Structure 1
Amino acid sequence: MQTTSINPAVTAFQKKLSSPLTKKQVTILQINLGKRCNLACTHCHVEAGPKRTEELSPEICQQLIEIIHKFPQLQIVDLTGGAPEINYGFKPLVEAANSAGKQVIVRSNLTIYFEDGFEDLPEYFAKYKVRVVASMPCYLADNVDKMRGAGVYDDSIKALQRLNQVGYGKEPDLILDLVYNPQLPSGEKFSLTPEQTKLEQDYKVFLEEHFDIVFNNLFTITNLPVGRTKLHLERKKLYAPYLQFLESHFNPTTVEHLMCRDELSIDYLGNVYDCDFNQMMNLPAKTRDGENLTIAKLLAAGSLDLIDRVQTAAYCYGCTAGCGSSCGGALV
């Protein structure tokens, strides 16, 4: 049975669809290693930060390594957090995925490279051909520091220059992608993310001209009303209007490409979700029999494909508005 968020402000998401949102074969394993982070960004849907202590355990890490080696259908292992690099199990998972021939993605805040004990991360990433997807919510300093904290922009620029120095953005197997997030709205004048291709060109021109920085792709990601973004909207009494805005821009052509359809999102406790947003809203993935899934159950069943229908909620309108939004940017 598909689950919906009870929210009278918008049409239930599943009613917007012409057919149930079904799962495809799982090819992506996205792992949230925990909520520990050296930053506390205002838009963070994970609500991560320096005071959080939740992280992967050795037992769950070992189960994840088993899954990575057991299922050839997995093509991508996508590591996120918090700052994934400072949570337990990061390097063992990178190395397991690399040895199994999977593409490894790390979702990096860039500033972690300047924390004690993590200075060698750019070289480590290059050694294992890790694809770096880096948060850079604007190419201008004021906007970045407003969202992510004072001084974050300067550290991010230095980190990108270091990644370039070891070959990222230059060598074909060292991919460096940046992520744009809009500023959080302060009033009802909402807007969707800018057109991705044009904004990518703007980023590339500005960063190369001012800092001699090059990168591969820009991903535009909509702020979904989850985590700190949801709290911000509720404080400003904008939560319902923002959901209505997203629904009014629903684009049915995005549905075929939604990231929840071919991925599993795993939390630090080993629970399984259809996507990272469902994980943060505690909306677990369900088997055909309505049972909540864990990675232990996947291993016992010998299958990653135990889910028929994706669990949905009102915030799913964020992924289907306009050109769509996913961990890989615009969908159409």
Structure 2
Amino acid sequence: MLQPSAAPELFAAHITPFPERLDSALVKQPITILQVNLGKRCNLACSHCHVDASPHRTEEMSDRVADRVIELIQTFPQIKTVDLTGGAPELLNGFKPILAAAVNTGKQAIVRSNLTIYFVPGYEDIPEYCANHHAHIVASLPCYLADNVDKMRGQGVFDASMRALQWLNRLGYGSDPSLQLDLVYNPPIPTSTNFRLTPDSVALERDYKLFFQEHFGVCFNHLLTITNLPIGRTKFQLDRHQLTLPYLQFLESHYNPKTVAKLMCRDQLSIDYLGNIYDCDFNQMTNLPALTRNGEILTIDRLLAAGTLDLINEIQTKPYCYGCTAGAGSSCGGALVS
């Protein structure tokens, strides 16, 4: 039986190291985006969650780390976007003060919502709070069919999501230009080697909009298509079917060099609930920290002490980076190229 310590060598023998596919080193650009993961507690436990979030997780940001995040936001005008995620970010400590700090300093605030959190007792004020702060809501909805959504996210999630979207529409989301509402599509996790790239976002967005308008009277702005990376529960599901390595090979075989210039890790810092810094959310979930030019691990405290966000030269990579560069590419903002 293969011992766990041999697994990295096995992958290295079958997958081209990501840096070897690049024309030049993957270097950071000036930082303009902070993506802040407030913790791993969530009211759902979706089968494709790369964070492995659930109601049983207890990790969340402390007041001290939240204060340091706010200090970052207030100190560096180069930050244009503050992207709040989790877990369910609305459920976690620091959500409201960090969102307010982003808005009060003129930055775009993004809230990555599962929508169902609005019906959890104690969080019914979240839709109005987001609307009052003109937060851009990015909501996970991996299909426009109820059965598919409930299989991935839990029984009744689709119906609750529709009611939440109707609620947001009544507040002006999807129609008021200042209240942006985007949905996120994730493909089903493969159970065989019949792998497929994420569908064309333009055509799929059209299908979503027609179906939701006709059946629920729901409108939204854009559909973002995101590739499932073999991390967290997605990797667990792939491992069950012995598909992790074949899936990575499939992603590598569809590597598109045109996506590299637009990768989200280029101008983003990902911050975890402890205040550690990563190049992206995926590296955060695999505990691959960002490094300074001198090879030092980065934290919020180190950034504030240095007085700059731009301490990283080369971005840390792993084979799962092929998921962001396959086909049209994938990022927290959807496809990277047409």
TM-score calculated relative to the size of structure 1: 0.98
Q: Which residue of 2 aligns with 1:317?
A: 322
Q: Which residue of 2 aligns with 1:300?
A: 305
Q: CA deviation at 1:235?
A: 1.1
Of the three residues 197, 206, 214, the one matched with 1:201 is 206
Tell whether 2:219 aligns with 1:210.
no
Q: CA deviation at 1:100?
A: 0.5
CA distance in 2, matches of 1:114, 1:138: 21
Q: CA deviation at 1:9?
A: 2.2
CA distance in 2, matches of 1:147, 1:176: 22
5 Å-filtered alignment, 1:42-121, equals 42-121=47-126
Q: Which residue of 1 aligns with 2:228?
A: 223
SS, match of residue 78 in structure 1: strand
CA distance in 2, matches of 1:198, 1:25: 33
CA distance in 1, matches of 2:291, 2:275: 14
CA distance in 2, matches of 1:100, 1:67: 11
Q: Which residue of 2 aligns with 1:150?
A: 155
Q: CA deviation at 1:305?
A: 0.2
CA RMSD across the alignment: 0.6
Tell whether 2:167 aligns with 1:162.
yes
Query: Which amino acid in the other structure matches residue 275 of structure 2?
Result: G
Query: Which amino acid in the other structure matches residue 234 of structure 2?
Result: T
The number of equivalent residue pairs is 328
Q: Which residue of 2 aligns with 1:235?
A: 240
CA distance in 1, matches of 2:14, 2:283: 19
CA distance in 2, matches of 1:19, 1:143: 41
Q: CA deviation at 1:230?
A: 0.6
Q: Which residue of 1 aligns with 2:4?
A: none
Tell whether 2:197 aligns with 1:188.
no
Query: Which amino acid in the other structure matches residue 163 of structure 2?
Result: K
CA distance in 2, matches of 1:90, 1:200: 29
Of the three residues 129, 133, 152, the one matched with 2:134 is 129
Superimposed CA distance per residue, residues 209-232 of structure 1 (whole angstroms, 9 cap, x where no aligned partner): 110000000000000000000111
Q: Which residue of 2 aligns with 1:9?
A: 14
CA distance in 2, matches of 1:278, 1:109: 22
CA distance in 1, matches of 2:125, 2:38: 20
Query: Which amino acid in the other structure matches residue 84 of structure 1?
Result: P
CA distance in 2, matches of 1:50, 1:24: 36
Query: Which amino acid in the other structure matches residue 99 of structure 2?
Result: V
CA distance in 2, matches of 1:16, 1:10: 11
CA distance in 2, matches of 1:127, 1:326: 27
Q: CA deviation at 1:83?
A: 0.1
Indicate if the aligned counterparts of 1:9 and 1:243 stay in contact, CA closer than 8 A.
no
SS, match of residue 138 in structure 2: strand
TM-score calculated relative to the size of structure 2: 0.96
Tell whether 2:167 aligns with 1:175.
no
Of the three residues 233, 254, 260, the one matched with 2:259 is 254
Q: Which residue of 1 aligns with 2:145?
A: 140
Gaps of 5+ in 2: 1-7
Superimposed CA distance per residue, residues 223-264 of structure 1 (whole angstroms, 9 cap, x where no aligned partner): 000000011111110000000000000000000000000000
Q: CA deviation at 1:203?
A: 0.5
Indicate if the aligned counterparts of 1:274 and 1:311 stay in contact, CA closer than 8 A.
yes
Runs of 4+ in 1 over 6 A off after TM superposition: none
Gaps of 5+ in 1: none
Q: CA deviation at 1:121?
A: 1.1
Q: CA deviation at 1:293?
A: 0.1
CA distance in 1, matches of 2:239, 2:248: 11
SS, match of residue 167 in structure 1: coil
